[in-house]
Structure 1
Amino acid sequence: MRILIADDHNLVRDTIAAFLSSEGGAVTDTASDLQGALDKAVGAEPWDLVLLDYAMPGMDGLKGLDRMRAAVGEVPVAIMSGTASRQVAGEALAQGAIGFVPKTLGARSLMNAIRFMAAGESYVPVSLLHSAAEAPACGIAAQLSNRERQVLDGLSRGASNKEIARELDLQEVTIKLHVKTLCRKLGARNRTHAVMIARDAGIG
C-alpha cells in the first residue's frame, strides 16, 4: 500500500507512518498541512489512500477534502480527527470521503481501517455511529417499505449483502437493489452514510 498522511501534529503523523511501514509493509509519505499534502499528491505515483487531519492548516473545514479529492481523482481520501463530531463525520462522507478515522482508534484497528479504505470500502467506527442520542423519528421513515426497513436493520448491524439475503431468504442482487433504493431515499452516498442518516432520524 502507498499511504499519504497529512497532520500538523508531528508525533501523531510520524507514529502512524512508522506503524504502517513496520507492521503493514506500507510505503508512506507525510505532510504537515493541506498544501504540503497537495504538493505530494499531485504528479506522484498514485496513492492507495490519502489521510487528512480535519483541523490541520489549510483544511478550512471540509473544503480541504474537496480540494484533495479534485487533485487525486479516484484515489480514496479519508478524514482523521481527535475532536470532530458525528455530524462532521456524516458531512465528510456525504462530500465523498471514503471514511472517518478517530485518532483514538487503537493501532491494530487503525491498520484494519486503512486496509479497508485502501480497498475502496467506506469506514466509520461503530462506536461513532452509536455515540449520539437517538433523534426523534421523522418523515424519512414513512418513505421506506417494510422490506427496506429490514435491509436497513441488517446494514445497521454491519451485515453483508449476502448475510442479509440469507436472513430474508432473498437473492443477493435483490438486496443490492434495496440498498441502492435506500441510499436514494435517504440522500446517502453509500451504505455507511445511509446508516448514519437513519440513526439520526431515529429509524436505524
Structure 2
Amino acid sequence: MTAPIRVVIADDQPLIRLGFTLVLEAEPDIRVVGEAADGEETITVCAAERPDVVLMDIRMPRMNGVAATARVVAECPQTRVLVLTTFDLDEYAFGALDAGASGFLLKDIDRAGLVAAIRAVAGGDAVLSPRVTREVLRRRLTSAGNAAGADGVDIAERVAALTQREREVFQAIARGLSNAEIATELYLGETTVKTHVGRVLSKLAARDRIHAVILAHRGGLAVDGEPRSQNGQSPAR
C-alpha cells in the first residue's frame, strides 16, 4: 500500500488552515501532519515532520513565505513547497518560485484543483499556469546566473548526455507538460515517465522542472513552447 502524501499547512489565518485540513483529510491518500501560523513555525514543523508538501502562505508574520520557502527547500530537500497567494502574479509569489517553490495556487482554488495540485507536486510535477510559466521564464531569462551556461554551450553538453527517450521527455517538460500528459503523448506508463524525468533532471543538474524549462529555453531547445529537434527545426506533428 502506497504511503499517504504528508502535508503541512502554513497560514496565519486559522479558518483557512481549518478549511484546507477538512478538504485534504477527506482524501484517502493525503494526511495533514502539521500546521503553522508563521514562517518560523513552518520551518520548525517541517524539520520535525519532514512532509512531502507544504502549502505555504506568502504573507505571514515573523517570517514571510518567501524566506520560509528558501529555508524549507535548503533544510528539507525532500519537501516540495506550494505557495498560496490571494493575487495572481503576486510579486511575492515569484520570489518564492525563485526560492525553490514548485508552484503556486490562488487561495480561491476549488477542492478538485487543490487536491490535484498536491498530488502533482508530490509526484514531481510543477504547478504553474501557462501564463505564469511564461512570466517566470521572462524574469529568469533576463537574470544572469539563474541558469548555467549563458551561451548555451554547457547546456548543450548536458543535453548530449541524454538518451533519445530522455531528450523527448526533456522537450515535453520544456513545453510544460505534466507526467500524465507526457505519458499520453509518448505512449508510456506514468511510472516510466517519472523515472525518465528523474534521470533528465539529474543529467541536466536541474533543481526541478521549472529549472529544466529554463535550461531548455536558455539552450535554444524550445521556441514558443514548441520543442526543437537537434537541427533546430520544429518536429513534424
Give the TM-score normalised by structure 1: 0.65
Q: Match of 1:38?
A: 43
Q: Does the 8 Å CA contact 2:39/2:64 hold for their aligned counterparts? A: no
Residue 158 of structure 1 deviates from its aligned partner by 2.2
Residue 30 of structure 1 deviates from its aligned partner by 1.3
Tell me the distance in 1 between the aligned counterparts of 2:54 and 2:209. Answer: 21
**CA separation of 1:11 and 1:43: change in aligned 2, threshold 3 A:** closer
**CA separation of 1:9 and 1:126: change in aligned 2, threshold 3 A:** farther
Stretch of structure 1 that moved more, 114-123 or 81-90? 81-90
Aligned to 2:114, the other structure's residue is in SS state helix
Whether 2:89 is the aligned partner of 1:70: answer no
The two structures, once aligned, show a CA RMSD in angstroms of: 4.3
Residue 127 of structure 1 deviates from its aligned partner by 5.4
Q: Does the 8 Å CA contact 1:53/1:80 hold for their aligned counterparts? A: yes
CA displacement 1:82-130 (0-9 Å, x = unmatched): 1262655444333222222221321101101001112232222345346
Q: Does the 8 Å CA contact 2:56/2:83 hold for their aligned counterparts? A: yes
Q: Does the 8 Å CA contact 2:58/2:93 hold for their aligned counterparts? A: no
Whether 2:79 is the aligned partner of 1:96: answer no
Tell me the distance in 2 between the aligned counterparts of 1:195 and 1:151. Answer: 12
Q: Match of 1:82?
A: 86
Gaps of 5+ in 1: 167-171
**CA separation of 1:115 and 1:94: change in aligned 2, threshold 3 A:** same
Tell me the distance in 1 between the aligned counterparts of 2:20 and 2:64. Answer: 23
Whether 2:21 is the aligned partner of 1:17: answer yes
CA displacement 1:32-69 (0-9 Å, x = unmatched): 1112222222233x312122111111334622211222
Q: Does the 8 Å CA contact 2:42/2:68 hold for their aligned counterparts? A: no
**CA separation of 1:43 and 1:152: change in aligned 2, threshold 3 A:** closer
Residue 151 of structure 1 deviates from its aligned partner by 8.4
In the alignment, residue 40 of structure 2 is paired with which amino acid?
Q
Q: Match of 2:228?
A: none
Q: Does the 8 Å CA contact 1:2/1:48 hold for their aligned counterparts? A: yes
May I ask how many residue pairs the two structures share in their alignment? 190
**CA separation of 1:131 and 1:5: change in aligned 2, threshold 3 A:** same
Residue 6 of structure 1 deviates from its aligned partner by 0.5
Aligned to 1:23, the other structure's residue is in SS state coil
Q: Match of 1:110?
A: 114
1:53 corresponds to which of 50, 57, 67: 57
In the alignment, residue 13 of structure 2 is paired with which amino acid?
H
Q: Match of 2:177?
A: 158
Tell me the distance in 1 between the aligned counterparts of 2:88 and 2:62. Answer: 16
Gaps of 5+ in 2: 143-149, 157-167, 188-192, 218-222, 226-237
Tell me the distance in 1 between the aligned counterparts of 2:185 and 2:94. Answer: 24
Tell me the distance in 1 between the aligned counterparts of 2:17 and 2:11. Answer: 6
Q: Does the 8 Å CA contact 1:3/1:48 hold for their aligned counterparts? A: yes
Aligned to 1:43, the other structure's residue is in SS state helix
**CA separation of 1:111 and 1:68: change in aligned 2, threshold 3 A:** same
Aligned residues with identical type, % of pairs? 25
In the alignment, residue 23 of structure 1 is paired with which amino acid?
E
Tell me the distance in 1 between the aligned counterparts of 2:29 and 2:178. Answer: 29
Tell me the distance in 1 between the aligned counterparts of 2:135 and 2:98. Answer: 19
